[in-house]
Amino acid sequence: MTPRKIVITSGKGGVGKTTTTANLGATLAKRGKRVILIDADIGLRNLDLVLGLEKRIVFDLVEVAEGRCQLRQALIKDKRFESLSILPAAQTREKDAITTEQFSAIVDLAATQADYVLIDCPAGIEHGFRNAVAGASEAIVVTTPEVSAIRDADRVVGKIAQDRKPIRLIVNRLRPEMVRSGDMLSVDDVCDVLSIELLGVVPDDEEVIDTTNRGEPIVLNDASRLKTIYDKIARRLEGEMVPFTSFDGTSLFGRLLDALKVG
Amino acid sequence: MHQTQAVEHETEAAAPARRLGRAIVLTSGKGGVGKTTTTANLGTALASRGVKVVLVDADVGLRNLDILLGLESRVKHHLLDVLEERATLDDALVPSKHGDTLYLLAAAQSREKDDVETEKMKALIETLRERFDYVLIDCPAGIELGFKNAVAGADEAIVVCTPEVSAVRDVDRVVGLLGNRFRPQLVINRLRPALVRKGKMLSVEDVNAILRLPLLGVIADEPDIIVTTNRGEPLALRRENPTGAAYHAIAARVAGEDVPAPMPPLSKPSFMERVSSFLGGKRA
Amino acid sequence: MIEFLRRLFGQSGSSATAKERLRLVLMTDHLELAPEMIEKLKADLVDVISRHVEVDRDRIEVNFERQDTALALLANIPIISVNRPNGNGRHGNGSNGGAPVEPVSETAPAGAVVEDAVAVEAPAPKKKAAADATPPVRKRRRRKKHAAASAAAAPTPT
């Protein structure tokens, strides 16, 4: 298959780009794909932390760009998976330490060694964003069901649409009980506003905080409900038709379940 | 020490020889930790004390402070209109719906961060300090040009951090970039006491053992925040709400009052928690 | 508690407000991001109006204004002269044949300027039952049309 170069972006920060990149990458790797994750957030890298690989960093993205090492020397293999590795960002450099051409060349090089190259985009729409998007041939926009996050996502969708790259949407941190009580925008509301293809819906799960603390992607936990969800997202990304899990049901049972979960 | 320290803000706005107001940048490095929410609420709480406050949205291209204050329909001119002299400051300042001492200066939505000239931004903040007691600058995420412009005119910083490893790391980086000049103070946002008790979330002590910053206060993660964002009414408008009250306590501390830093209650587990732990629910 | 009572009596939660605010804010954002669309709209408007009256092309102002619940198109089109009605009392739409009117000289008397404001209401938000049945795959274009419809102009890609 042609390797796929996908940027994971959002405009607004803190909506879960890095968590999505890590978990989607891990899921694809579990499904037997060769996956390279690139952290494009120069100066504020975090993908290494989320995957618990921070201690193994030797070289970084900028050093590869400057020709001070080979790409394969900078790639850190995640031993928990067959075929997942990450290219960390430089922490003590600026975003403009790397040009758009250099970044795209690295992504292309990575694509010769992988089925999927996922690019973890920095927040905002500045130089770092432009680099990350330029290197990709498709995009996943992550948003949360909040007014400000959606507005920023819309801005980013507008920018990416100029390049005619396919864009898909992940709605992250949905709280079904708040949707039911009418205090959170529903997935339909978000899709209505953004008008892009829905790739997945990930409910808010406090386990994510815990697993990030420990540097273990949540999909490593077989009992986690998010594992199933990321699995579905990965299958959709591969072109399978997978029905969406409904979070909007208003059954009495559902409400009782929510009531028990509150605490 | 800076000449614009806390105590002197009892002077009335009408005083002839006005001292310069305080220019405080709210920043975090990482996005989505609550900078804009904190700016809106701290501004609202400060203004309710009768001082003149202006909130400056420095997130050119991704503005949101207008939404959080419910003022998006009233923004006619923005920061760049003022910097590029297409509008006067008076045209661009949007009065808040609540209280007459709070104003918003919105960011341009259709422009880029590199359109802002750092020197002009600095001069604008200086002008605002002549007219307001507090100039709160809502900084964009990241540490690129937008960050540099937001920080340029400020003389103090409030860093907002959530109890997550990535947020702490980014704040640490930002504090390093800020240096000592800004005397950064810390607001810990989105704390979930239940998770801290279960050992699944960093505690306030954990966070500050790393950051070692003066703590202004701690805000709990409450669904109320999403609701108030939906409505465009900052929670600080409701003093009876615990989170609203916490913002007022932070405002008092910013103003130099000796009140304790607000903390969400950590000790007592809720009834439902006790039930669920009694039932042995691991709730994984 | 108030929230609870609100819900008990069937008042919608804050998400309805959020959706309505988003809809309007994005329309405004999109307009701000598409100045060329506004230029085209202005030209089209003038062409239509010029079939009936002579207008001062240099002094036309077209603005979009956010009001509390709608987006309005406000056009200020100074009129220089009104075509003489035909014998049968109808406007002579043949007089210009749709061709653009030549810009008129600066000597037009200020007194002849007539202010004309057109307000176009944005389509009211409708809770459509059909939306829930539509598959989640939606074309971006749809929303563009939405914003453009209120402006009565052809959408231009941003």
Closest partner residue to A148 (CB to CB) among B36, B170, B173 is B36
Helix (H) or strand (E) holding C63: strand C61-66
- Secondary structure of chain A as H, E, C letters: CCCEEEEEECCCCCCCHHHHHHHHHHHHHHCCCCEEEEECCCCCCCHHHHCCCHHHCCCCHHHHHCCCCCHHHHCEECCCCCCEEEECCCCCCCHHHCCHHHHHHHHHHHHCCCCEEEEECCCCCCHHHHHHHHCCCEEEEEECCCHHHHHHHHHHHHHHHCCCCCEEEEEEEECHHHHHCCCCCCHHHHHHHHCCEEEEEEECCCHHHHHHHHCCCHHHCCCCHHHHHHHHHHHHHCCCCCCCCCCCCCCHHHHHHHHHHCC
Considering only CB atoms, which chain A residues are within 8 Å of C136? 187, 191, 197-198, 244
Considering only CB atoms, which chain C residues are within 8 Å of A184? 15
Residue of chain B minimizing CA distance to A226: B284
* Contact at CB, A46 and B229, closer than 8 angstroms: no
Query: A144-168, pLDDT tens digit by residue?
Result: 999 999 999 999 999 999 999 999 9
pLDDT value at residue B108: 93
Answer for the pair B30, B140: CB distance below 8 angstroms, yes or no: no
Listed residue (B271, B64, B218) closest to A148, CA to CA = B64
pLDDT value at residue A173: 97
Helices (H) and strands (E) in chain B, counts: 12, 8
Q: Which of residues 130-149 of C touch B (CB under 8 A)?
A: none
* Contact at CB, B173 and A91, closer than 8 angstroms: yes
pLDDT value at residue B283: 40
Looking at CA atoms only, how far is residue B157 from chain C in angstroms?
Answer: 30
pLDDT of chain C along its 158 residues, tens only?
Answer: 455 545 444 446 899 899 888 888 888 888 877 878 888 888 888 888 888 899 888 888 888 877 767 788 888 888 888 876 664 444 434 444 444 444 443 333 333 333 344 444 444 443 333 333 333 333 343 343 333 333 333 333 33
Considering only CB atoms, which chain A residues are within 8 Å of B194? 263
Looking at CA atoms only, how far is residue C143 from chain B in angstroms?
Answer: 18
Considering only CB atoms, which chain A residues are within 8 Å of B144? 94-95, 124, 126-128
Q: Is any Cβ of chain A less than 8 angstroms from the Cβ of C13? A: yes
Pairwise CA distance, residues A226 & A207, whole Å: 9
Closest partner residue to B62 (CB to CB) among A11, A122, A213 is A11
Answer for the pair A56, A3: CB distance below 8 angstroms, yes or no: no
Considering only CB atoms, which chain B residues are within 8 Å of A175? 223
pLDDT value at residue B126: 97
pLDDT value at residue A121: 98
Q: Is any Cβ of chain C less than 8 angstroms from the Cβ of A243? A: no
Helix (H) or strand (E) holding C11: none
Query: A197-234, pLDDT tens digit by residue?
Result: 999 999 999 999 999 999 999 999 999 999 999 999 99
Helices (H) and strands (E) in chain C, counts: 5, 4
Considering only CB atoms, which chain A residues are within 8 Å of B173? 43-44, 91
The dihedral over CA atoms of B246, B247, B252, B256, expressed in degrees to the nearest 10, equals 110
- Compute chain A's Rg from CA coordinates: 18
Coil, strand, or helix at residue B45?
A: helix
Q: What's the token pair of residue C49?
A: 């109006």
Residue B276 has pLDDT above 70, yes or no: no
Q: What contacts 24+ positions apart, CB below 8 Å, involve B240-244?
A: B243/B219, B244/B41
* Contact at CB, A186 and C139, closer than 8 angstroms: no
Calculate mean pLDDT across residues B155-183.
Answer: 95
pLDDT value at residue A160: 96
Q: Is any Cβ of chain B less than 8 angstroms from the Cβ of A11? A: yes
Whole-structure pTM value = 0.81
pLDDT value at residue A215: 95
Question: Which positions in chain B have a beta carbon within 8 angstroms of at least one beta carbon in chain C?
Answer: 67, 70, 72-74, 109-110, 226-232
Q: Is any Cβ of chain B less than 8 angstroms from the Cβ of A217? A: no
* Contact at CB, B227 and C33, closer than 8 angstroms: no
pLDDT confidence bin for A1, thresholds 50/70/90: confident
Lowest-confidence region among B64-73, B169-178, C88-97: C88-97
pLDDT confidence bin for B186, thresholds 50/70/90: very high
Q: Is any Cβ of chain C less than 8 angstroms from the Cβ of A246? A: no
pLDDT value at residue A185: 96
Q: Is any Cβ of chain B less than 8 angstroms from the Cβ of C36? A: no
Query: B256-275, pLDDT tens digit by residue?
Result: 999 999 999 876 555 665 66
Residue of chain A minimizing CA distance to B277: A263
Q: Is any Cβ of chain B less than 8 angstroms from the Cβ of A123? A: yes
For the beta sheet containing A197-203, the strands, ordered from the edge strand earlier in sequence to the opposite edge, are: A76-77, A84-87, A35-39, A116-120, A4-9, A138-143, A167-174, A197-203
Q: Is any Cβ of chain A less than 8 angstroms from the Cβ of C138? A: yes
Answer for the pair A42, A95: CB distance below 8 angstroms, yes or no: yes
Residue of chain B minimizing CA distance to C158: B110
Calculate mean pLDDT across residues A57-71.
Answer: 97
Looking at CA atoms only, how far is residue B201 from chain A in angstroms?
Answer: 6
Pairwise CA distance, residues C87 & C146, whole Å: 42
Query: A85-133, pLDDT tens digit by residue?
Result: 999 999 999 888 999 999 999 999 999 999 999 999 999 999 999 999 9
Looking at CA atoms only, how far is residue B187 from chain A in angstroms?
Answer: 16
Residue A44 has pLDDT above 70, yes or no: yes
- Residue with the larger pLDDT of the pair B14 and B225: B225
Tell me the count of B-C CB pairs closer than 8 A. Answer: 36
Residue B118 has pLDDT above 60, yes or no: yes
Residue B239, C-beta contacts closer than 8 angstroms, at least 6 positions apart: B245, B248
Q: Is any Cβ of chain A less than 8 angstroms from the Cβ of C133? A: no
Calculate mean pLDDT across residues B241-247.
Answer: 96
Looking at CA atoms only, how far is residue A144 from chain C in angstroms?
Answer: 13
pLDDT value at residue C100: 43
Q: Is any Cβ of chain B less than 8 angstroms from the Cβ of C11? A: no
Q: What contacts 24+ positions apart, CB below 8 Å, involve B180-184?
A: B181/B155, B182/B25, B182/B151, B182/B154, B182/B155, B182/B156, B182/B157, B183/B2, B183/B156, B183/B157, B183/B214, B184/B156, B184/B157, B184/B158, B184/B159, B184/B213
Closest partner residue to B229 (CB to CB) among A124, A148, A210 is A148
Pairwise CA distance, residues C48 & C41, whole Å: 11
Please state at what angle helix C35-50 crosses helix C141-151, rounded to 10 degrees: 40
The fraction of chain A above a pLDDT of 70, given in percent, is 94
Closest partner residue to C26 (CB to CB) among A151, A191, A198 is A151
pLDDT value at residue C69: 74
Calculate mean pLDDT across residues A37-62.
Answer: 96
Closest partner residue to A191 (CB to CB) among C18, C33, C136 is C136
Pairwise CA distance, residues B237 & B47, whole Å: 10
Looking at CA atoms only, how far is residue A201 from chain B in angstroms?
Answer: 18
Whole-complex ipTM = 0.89
Considering only CB atoms, which chain C residues are within 8 Å of A189? 15, 18-19
pLDDT value at residue B275: 64
Residue B153 has pLDDT above 70, yes or no: yes
Lowest-confidence region among A13-22, B9-18, B111-120, C66-75: B9-18
Pairwise CA distance, residues B27 & B138, whole Å: 7
Residue pointed to by tokens 């910053």: B213
Looking at CA atoms only, how far is residue B75 from chain C in angstroms?
Answer: 9
DSSP state of B54: E
Answer for the pair B196, B203: CB distance below 8 angstroms, yes or no: yes
Pairwise CA distance, residues A225 & A219, whole Å: 9
Residue C86, C-beta contacts closer than 8 angstroms, at least 6 positions apart: C92
pLDDT value at residue B229: 93
Lowest-confidence region among A153-167, B76-90, B103-117, C45-59: C45-59
Q: Is any Cβ of chain C less than 8 angstroms from the Cβ of A157? A: yes
